[in-house]
Structure 1
Amino acid sequence: MVKIMATFYFIKCLFFGPRLIKVYGCSERNALTYLPSGAEKLGDGFLKLMNWSIRLGIYTSPLVIWVLHKKNLLGYDGFHSLIRFTAICTFLCSISLAARAFGRFRNPHYVKFITHLEVAQNNYNSNTKKFLSQYDFDFSAWPVDYDAKEIPKDSDKPRRFVDQESKNRSITEIAKLLPCRILGYFVAHSIGIRLLYPGTIMQYFIEPNLIDGRSRLIEEHLGERHKLVTRDGNAIDCVSVDRRASPGYSNGDWLVICCEGNAGFYELGMIGTPLEAGYSVLGWNHPGFGGSSGTPFPRQDQYAVDIVLQFALNKLNFPAERIILYGWSIGGFSASWAAMNYPNVKAVMLDATFDHVLPLAANVMPASWNSIVTTTVKYNLNLNVAEQLIKYNGPVILLRRMRDEVIALEPGTLSTNRGNNLLIKLLKFRFPKIIDPTTVPVLRMWLNADKAERKEIMKKPEFTNCTCPKLFKQLEEKLKSYIEENSNSFPMLIGQNWTEKEKSQMTIFLASRYMMDFDGTHCTPLPVEMFRPPQEIGSESNFVQISDLKK
């Protein structure tokens, strides 16, 4: 019986099994690219073409139906033509499946891969995973490393979500909004989510680059791939590089969880900077990106980063106090949500991130579409980074790109960079007695100025010595004293009865403490020397300087 089942599994994999991409460990961890035979390549190519055609047909279904209607193909004759076309496609798919199975059967690498895959799927443990990790293949066939069902009860507390929708609307107001909300739903679930996350489409054109990037992480950095299953059933593709036991990495005891942008993948994205800085790293792909299933709607994305945190805590065994959340661009939404729900993480770093996605979405759409854009975003794509971030009490640093052309309403113009608004909202919440109507203009003036302009600002009498180290030290001591007498929780009420000049000085100090500028564009990789996690006020740095890392 066992032999019959094994034979059946073997035949099933030949016809419908996962695509094998690379074989690792063939020569001192150098990967061997799997080369399919002509029969397998031809069969697989046609099946891939059919899959692409079906996807394209679904995305363009309204246009397809309109064309069929214009050509009178939706009637009886059209139905018969559709049946004939379907029969031909079915026949060609059958031939392609047979050709692929024949090619795989004659390839020793694929036959050996099937053997290891069967063993791993029947008994998945550290030993069988070691053998399976020798291969790069379709992620859908990868066994599950961690499931949301395994989350310990003490970690499975109710999650917090930011919801902008008013709960006090009258029936009349709801009725007025209903048509717009229905339209917004269809816009969001068709083209809207793909415009917001273009990586869902780009990945089909850059697949070779993703494969090469994944190979580098596994071969050069000794990374390990994992499959995590979320609360809503999505499979999340992630990779970990654990350096705790590796000599020469002084920051290896710290785990950086990387939340990529709307066209970023762990294979090619921001993960390189913390790796170069010597940290342990956990990278993951948004739902619908790379090997991850699903679609990157807010709730799916939140469940995705949730299972990533649980995996880091319960499987990789990193304590929350040793975890740094690093979000780039739209990944700031994922990172800020995780920070809100895991308040004990060490720090949050947000790079080229906005306060809310609505101003950016409205900026690229015609003004006449404002109503539908607002409704679509509010009820379907509500990425409110600022409101989530203010619910985190720990250290935060915002990295702003001076020539950012994506999150600035006017490309490259500092005054329109939405990172400014994120900083203002964060500081207004944390220091309400300092960041008030009298100092917000000072803060905006400081944020809108480049280095040369700031030097001119500092020449004004009210800002004399405002940025000198001695004054900064005094302001630091004031904050320390307040914390010692009260607490380090936010909002802090420091600044009551201060003069306008004192508040202005503290405003600039806080701005320089919470935001760091980088002279680059949105997609320029962050230099490793700028990867400096923030510390709580009054604490000594627990992080090794980059220059001190052993090479």
Structure 2
Amino acid sequence: MSLTGRELCRLLCCPPCPGHIAAKLAFIPPDPTYSVMPDETGNKYILHLTERAEWQYSEREQQRLEVFLVRTSRGNRVSCMYVKCNSETPASKYTILFSHGNAVDLGQMSSFYVGLSARLGVNIFSYDYSGYGASGGSPTEKNIYADIEAAFQALRQKYAVSPEHIILYGQSIGTVPTIDLARKFECAAVVLHSPLLSGLRVAFPDTKRTWFFDVFPSIEKIPKVTSPVLVIHGTEDEVIDFSHGLAIYEQCPRAVEPLWVEGAGHNDIELYSQYVDRLRQFIHVELPN
């Protein structure tokens, strides 16, 4: 979709509220697929998955998932999930802080996290955005920045994981809070899976600059990220055009060899064998071990 003269005039004369852009372009919380309840002691939380979570493993593996709630700087309580690396696999010293994509919650992602943890030999820590799953509040741009920072601090304090052992991983809309956090804290590495340049650039592909009313301006923040960055994008992405990933990659000060998945769309990159192969290479060979 091109930005016509009339549309440009309307945007400049009567710019939309950033929150409205964010809501229209990004936030589609699904019906919750899980709940987080305190146990009998009140000191620990128990995860209850619904059938919509499509859990693929045994009850024993589900019990390995630790869940709890943290309060953000904006007053919302958000759900967190910790997946410990399978004891049968040599545990990596790295933990992935995973910011998932849109229209899913921790319940739907839990099986994927367990499988990815086992295949990569790392721990995975994730959280739900405000208004998603069992997290309170509503999804806004400011809230998701507060959400990831609360999760990051919880990972450091509860599990004593230092930044040099944390890999920030963002997928789709999850790349927005990931990049925002990565510009503030240098970590072991950053993985950007199908990143977007900014909200307006998704809605209006011909947009060449960042307007004051734009949301998710990742293209303005990525040059400030000092950690090694791996960019992953499908060449046939129908939601966030491949050009976004390419431009993000070109602006990364410490970009490593990217993974361009030929023929992949927005939601199927994980099905390609090179996806896990590239992540393994990056984590276990290219990063210090």
TM-score range, shorter chain: 0.7 to 0.9
In structure 2, the gaps of 5 or more residues are 1-9, 35-48
Name the CA distance, whole Å, in 2 between partners of 1:422 and 1:541: 21
Deviation at residue 389 of structure 1 after TM alignment? 2.1
Structure 1 residues 231 and 295, CA gap change in structure 2 (3 angstroms): same
Which amino acid in 2 is paired with 1:420? Answer: L
Does the 8 A contact of 2:32 with 2:133 survive in 1? no
Identity within the alignment, %: 21
Q: Residues 319-363 of structure 1: CA distance to partner in whole angstroms, max 9, x if unpaired?
A: 1111101111111111111111111x1000001112222111225
Structure 1 residues 533 and 335, CA gap change in structure 2 (3 angstroms): farther
**2:265 aligned with 1:521:** yes
Q: Which of 152, 176, 201 matches 1:309?
A: 152
Match of 2:130 in 1: 287
Does the 8 A contact of 1:397 with 1:533 survive in 2? no
Match of 2:164 in 1: 321
Q: Residues 245-286 of structure 1: CA distance to partner in whole angstroms, max 9, x if unpaired?
A: x53222443110101112232332463434432210101111
In structure 1, the gaps of 5 or more residues are 1-175, 409-413, 431-489, 491-509, 544-551
**2:211 aligned with 1:383:** no
Deviation at residue 180 of structure 1 after TM alignment? 2.2
Match of 1:180 in 2: 14
- Paired residue secondary structure (1:397): strand
- Paired residue secondary structure (1:220): helix
Does the 8 A contact of 1:217 with 1:223 survive in 2? no
Match of 2:191 in 1: 349
Name the CA distance, whole Å, in 2 between partners of 1:396 and 1:346: 9
Structure 1 residues 532 and 355, CA gap change in structure 2 (3 angstroms): farther
Structure 1 residues 279 and 348, CA gap change in structure 2 (3 angstroms): same
Q: Which of 21, 24, 29 matches 1:195?
A: 24
Deviation at residue 299 of structure 1 after TM alignment? 1.1
Name the CA distance, whole Å, in 1 between partners of 2:120 and 2:173: 23
Name the CA distance, whole Å, in 2 between partners of 1:533 and 1:326: 15
Does the 8 A contact of 2:261 with 2:269 survive in 1? no
RMSD of aligned alpha carbons: 3.2
The structure with the greater share of residues assigned to strand is: 2
Deviation at residue 236 of structure 1 after TM alignment? 0.7
Structure 1 residues 193 and 255, CA gap change in structure 2 (3 angstroms): same
Larger radius of gyration: 1
Q: Which of 390, 401, 421 matches 2:247?
A: 421
**Please, what TM-score do these two structures have when normalized by structure 2?**
0.75
Name the CA distance, whole Å, in 2 between partners of 1:400 and 1:518: 6
Structure 1 residues 533 and 334, CA gap change in structure 2 (3 angstroms): farther
**2:61 aligned with 1:220:** yes
Deviation at residue 198 of structure 1 after TM alignment? 4.4
**2:226 aligned with 1:393:** yes
Which amino acid in 2 is paired with 1:517? Answer: W
**Structure with larger RCO (C-alpha < 8 A, sep 6+):** 2
Which amino acid in 2 is paired with 1:303? Answer: A
**Please, what TM-score do these two structures have when normalized by structure 1?**
0.42
Structure 1 residues 352 and 533, CA gap change in structure 2 (3 angstroms): farther
Paired residue total? 254
Match of 1:358 in 2: 200
- Paired residue secondary structure (1:276): helix
Which amino acid in 2 is paired with 1:319? Answer: S
Match of 1:505 in 2: none
Structure 1 residues 319 and 356, CA gap change in structure 2 (3 angstroms): same
Match of 1:530 in 2: 278
- Paired residue secondary structure (1:240): strand
Deviation at residue 310 of structure 1 after TM alignment? 0.3
Which amino acid in 2 is paired with 1:521? Answer: G
Does the 8 A contact of 1:197 with 1:296 survive in 2? no
- Paired residue secondary structure (2:74): coil
Note the 1:364-379 alignment, pairs <5 A.
378-379=212-213
Which amino acid in 2 is paired with 1:403? Answer: E
Structure 1 residues 361 and 425, CA gap change in structure 2 (3 angstroms): same
Which amino acid in 2 is paired with 1:529? Answer: D
Name the CA distance, whole Å, in 2 between partners of 1:313 and 1:398: 25
Does the 8 A contact of 1:217 with 1:267 survive in 2? no
Note the 1:121-132 alignment, pairs <5 A.
none
Structure 1 residues 263 and 540, CA gap change in structure 2 (3 angstroms): closer
